[in-house]
Amino acid sequence: MLPTDLIDRARAGECTKEDAAQLTNTPLPELFGLADELRAEAVGNTVTYILNRNINFTSQCIGTCRFCAFRDPNGYRMNTSEILEKVREAVDTGATEICIQGGLLPDMRLAGYCEILESIKSRFPDIHLHSCSPMEVYHAARDGVGVKDALVALKDAGLDTMPGTAAEILVDHVRERICPDKLNTEEWVNVIRTAHNLGIRTTATIMYGHIETTQDRIEHLFLIRDIQKETHGFTEFVPLPFMPYNNELGSEMLASGNYGITGIDDLRMHALARIVLHTHIKNIQASWVKLGTKLAQYALHCGANDLGGTLMEEKISKSAGATSGEYLAPAEFNWIIRKAGRVPTVRDTLYSHQQTIHKSLIKNYPPGGVATPSTTD
């Protein structure tokens, strides 16, 4: 049985690192039960998702991340017209958010990122632009521009919120082994804290299930919690399991008989995130692309309350071996959520507007097909 004082600290949002270490060895029914109780306290029985489109505008990248299967020196690069056509398709189908990220192009400067954002906003002023990871901001800020000035320029160009990716594990001895040329922990935190101080809210992520230890995961969670206590700028926390296929790091693991993360460990990670971040970050997302829809559904009973977005396309996880597809229709979201005993709800990026899905919200989903969204009971 979990100690009463640990449960009390968890409910108060004051879980310690020692508590977190104990929770990683807690029997699953107790761990999942506590996480589910805290989820109910934080958000009730609502499970959210967003109508969005993911656009990975280039697979070319000068990065050297050992976990990446998406990078291709001879890969594709979309021009502005191609990006705008994808945005138009998304808007026509009722999407409210565009998530746009890409590899690090050697000739891409701050002006190039601003041009993409400005082009989209000038034609689709009501679309929410969720773009520019901390690594992309850091890349844009080279040549003496500075992170703050880069973020101000991106915000002026139309940036609304940022994905809190490029976090991987926020422990430098791990980062030195998996992404030695990427921004370090302090630099990642600086980009995120500066964005929050400028009114640019972000998600927070963790990429787990490779060479990191349990203690590394705990250090990451508590760093995220400390930032949130200071800035209140995170909208959600997204655990992302490492995909071990078609990349250097995964090949080493597979060769040694390590096949990556298990479903049980995925659920433990989501439950631990809910407990450690309780009262600080309300929304814990289960990525259906990474987990698959069945495990993501079960995660809704282990602390998660959000299933991410419809996406319409997704290339990064797919290139690393994800098999769950690139698009999930609203009708299927509704079915998955209802079968979990929860109430499906469409949200916006900031979770400030949520409503039960209705046919009038969806125009021609799936793209190019006939919409068959179901309404909630």
Architecture of domain 4-361: Alpha-Beta Barrel (3.20)
Q: Quote the pLDDT of residue 362.
A: 44
Query: Which tens digits make up the pLDDT trace of 70-79?
Result: 899 899 999 9
* Contact criterion met (CB below 8 Å) for 280 and 13: yes
Query: Which tens digits make up the pLDDT trace of 301-352?
Result: 999 999 999 998 644 454 444 444 578 999 999 999 999 999 999 999 999 9
Query: Which tens digits make up the pLDDT trace of 265-289?
Result: 999 999 999 999 999 999 999 999 9
Average pLDDT, the chain: 91
Query: Which tens digits make up the pLDDT trace of 199-248?
Result: 999 999 999 999 999 999 999 999 999 999 999 999 999 999 999 999 99
| Average pLDDT estimate for 37-52 | 97
The closest alpha carbon to 44, from 373, 375, 345, belongs to 345
Long-range contacts of residues 256-265, Cβ cutoff 8 Å, at least 24 apart: 260/209, 260/210, 261/208, 261/209, 263/291, 263/295, 264/28, 265/209
- What is the per-residue burial (b if ≥16 Cβ within 10 Å, else e) of 354-365? eeebeeebbeeb
Name the strands in the sheet holding 354-355, side by side, starting at the edge strand that comes first in the sequence: 306-309, 46-50, 343-347, 354-355
Q: Which residues contact 214 (CB under 8 A, 6 or more apart)?
A: 21, 24
Query: Which tens digits make up the pLDDT trace of 94-122?
Result: 999 999 999 999 999 999 999 999 999 99
